[in-house]
Amino acid sequence: MAELEFQGAARTVTGSMHVLHTAEGKFLMDCGLFQGRRHESDEKNRRFPFRPGSVDGLLLSHAHIDHSGNIPHLVREGFSGPVFATGATCDLCEIMLADSGHIQEEDARFWNEKRARSPREFIEPLYTAEDARAAQAQFRAVEYAQPVEFAPGCTATWIEAGHILGSACLLVELRHSEPVRLLYTGDLGRFDVPILRDPTCPLPQADYLITECTYADRTHANPTDMKQQLVRIIRETREAGGKVIIPAFSVGRTQTIVYYLHQAVAEGLLEPLPIFVDSPLSTNATEVFKKHPECYDEEAKDFWQEQGSIFGRKLVNYITDTDSSKRLNDLSDPAVIIASSGMCEAGRIKHHLKNNVEDEANTVVIVGFMAQHTLGRRIVERREEIKIYGRMYKLLARVEVLNGFSAHADRNDFKKLLGPLAKTLKGAFVVHGEGSQPAGMKEILTGAGMPEDRIHVPAPGQKFTLE
């Protein structure tokens, strides 16, 4: 008899990891990093609730670090089985996990040099960039919609989730004497977002559902207005003789913005102007996007065929080395600079903000969620002064906040995607959410006809039998 054990993303958002125990072995669905308060998340990331060597295989939904980020650590601690994921997810993990390893090394170095009071308090990085590269050997690329037998009589099928490039929901089928169909949503995306295909709708029928619920309690702004908004902001800023600075996550958000700008220029909505993507990770991620046109939606495929590229081959300058990045400081004419990190806490974006926020001709465009206590949040709040590298700067540049870019399904998307399944489910497990979010999902499922006593919000360590 199969059993499900909840460990990560149980009553919280990050650290996705669900354990499937079957007669054939122990399998993980995702193995993500807990993110948030350093001490608390560090402890959870460092200790696996099982012996990593005892895990037989891993089914990975998508490349985001809260789903994949602990894989190199799992491998270093003895896991030697295969990691199944779509081709695009494998390629994104290659660059994102190496980057994550690099961040772990930097974090440990910072702690040991600045915070530790004695050598006894020194910490080792959770894993290194080298560990991440070594883990890559265990990745196995799978096709969408093709069942993969990960153990005798056990198959998994990766189904388009529309969340990021390569993202999937997992349909796990255990063909025992009592067959079981389990659907794990991973992270669900939205309809009509650029580049990506829509999530598969409705999702396949199953006996059990593990579903994320991050935005089950709210609705998003319409994604289709975002291109027009960007064009308006760039035009206005150019007329004022200023520059547009866009802090953006390297994977997904940066490519969406570049795609919009390329489209706008091709459609004659925007006069070409210098556009810079200033981040090695964004540049590498864009290469992965270019390598996987099979994941594009019809519109992006057509545009790709027409233009030979959807990421502004002639229009956009991709910058990887620091000298070229520094040269952007001398730029005096109107331009668009897209740089990481997304919440303005690290990376090259801080230099661009430092150089540009005190000029009222410039505009800072916020295109992503800004957590509390980040520089990005202080910009969203339009503070009079902001601190960058220990110095106060007047925030005189215009700030525009565009809220329509979310990569997560909202309440209406969930109703459409999960509603048709709800009535026949034997059990649903609500994960990847906190506060009022799980209750939002309960409301969606009961509203679609599922009895409330079959819906669970599992606590870490809780187990359930699948029958």
Smallest gap from Cβ 409 to Zn ion, in A, equals: 11
Smallest gap from Cβ 433 to Zn ion, in A, equals: 10
Strands 154-160 and 168-174: antiparallel
Contact pattern from residue 178 through residue 217 relative to Zn ion, giving x for each residue in contact according to CB under 5 A and a dash for the rest: ---------x------------------------------
Q: Which is nearer to Zn ion, 17 or 366 (CB)?
A: 17
Tokens 């080298």 locate to: 130
Smallest gap from Cβ 80 to Zn ion, in A, equals: 26
How many angstroms separate the most distant Cα atoms in the chain?
Answer: 71
Angle between helices 298-307 and 253-266 (to 10 degrees): 60
Quick check: bond before 458 cis, omega within 30?
Answer: no
Size of the residue set binding Zn ion (CB under 5 A):
3
Smallest gap from Cβ 32 to Zn ion, in A, equals: 7
CA dist., res. 364 & res. 247, Å (int)? 8
Q: Which is nearer to Zn ion, 64 or 190 (CB)?
A: 64
Q: Which is nearer to Zn ion, 91 or 207 (CB)?
A: 91
Binding piece for Zn ion, criterion CB under 5 A, among 65-73, 128-136, 332-340, 343-351? 65-73
Smallest gap from Cβ 407 to Zn ion, in A, equals: 7
Q: Which is nearer to Zn ion, 242 or 440 (CB)?
A: 440
Residue ranges with strand state E in 316-415: 316-319, 336-339, 363-366, 385-388, 391-394, 398-401
Smallest gap from Cβ 16 to Zn ion, in A, equals: 6
Q: Which is nearer to Zn ion, 278 or 410 (CB)?
A: 410
Instruction: Out of 64, 190, 197, 442, point to the residue binding Zn ion (CB under 5 A).
Output: 64
Q: Which is nearer to Zn ion, 11 or 64 (CB)?
A: 64
Smallest gap from Cβ 63 to Zn ion, in A, equals: 8
Q: Which is nearer to Zn ion, 9 or 154 (CB)?
A: 9
Smallest gap from Cβ 53 to Zn ion, in A, equals: 26
CA dist., res. 88 & res. 143, Å (int)? 10
Contact pattern from residue 5 through residue 44 relative to Zn ion, giving x for each residue in contact according to CB under 5 A and a dash for the rest: ----------------------------------------
- Name the CA dihedral angle for 135, 140, 143, 147, rounded to a multiple of 10 degrees: -120
| Lookup: tokens for 260 | 């919009």
CA dist., res. 120 & res. 81, Å (int)? 34
Q: Which is nearer to Zn ion, 22 or 70 (CB)?
A: 70
* Cβ-Cβ contacts under 8 Å for 31 (sequence gap 6 or more): 8, 16, 17, 58, 60, 67, 68, 69, 70, 71, 74
Binding piece for Zn ion, criterion CB under 5 A, among 63-71, 94-102, 107-115, 352-360? 63-71
CA dist., res. 430 & res. 69, Å (int)? 21
Give the Å distances, CA to CA, from 195 to 105, 169, 226.
33, 18, 14
Instruction: Out of 66, 105, 217, 400, point to the residue binding Zn ion (CB under 5 A).
Output: 66
Smallest gap from Cβ 212 to Zn ion, in A, equals: 7
Give the Å distances, CA to CA, from 393 to 356, 377, 384, 441.
10, 15, 9, 43
Smallest gap from Cβ 170 to Zn ion, in A, equals: 14
Amino acid at 215: Y
Please check whether residue 133 is in contact with residue 99, taking contact to mean a CB–CB distance below 8 angstroms: no
Q: Which is nearer to Zn ion, 99 or 187 (CB)?
A: 187
Binding piece for Zn ion, criterion CB under 5 A, among 59-67, 105-113, 243-251, 279-287? 59-67
Binding piece for Zn ion, criterion CB under 5 A, among 56-64, 245-253, 348-356, 421-429? 56-64
Q: Which is nearer to Zn ion, 92 or 265 (CB)?
A: 92
Q: What's phi and psi for 244, nearest 5 deg?
A: -105, 125
CA dist., res. 273 & res. 233, Å (int)? 13
CA dist., res. 81 & res. 155, Å (int)? 16
Contact pattern from residue 112 through residue 131 relative to Zn ion, giving x for each residue in contact according to CB under 5 A and a dash for the rest: --------------------
User: Under the rule (CB under 5 A), what is the footprint of Zn ion?
Assistant: 64, 66, 187
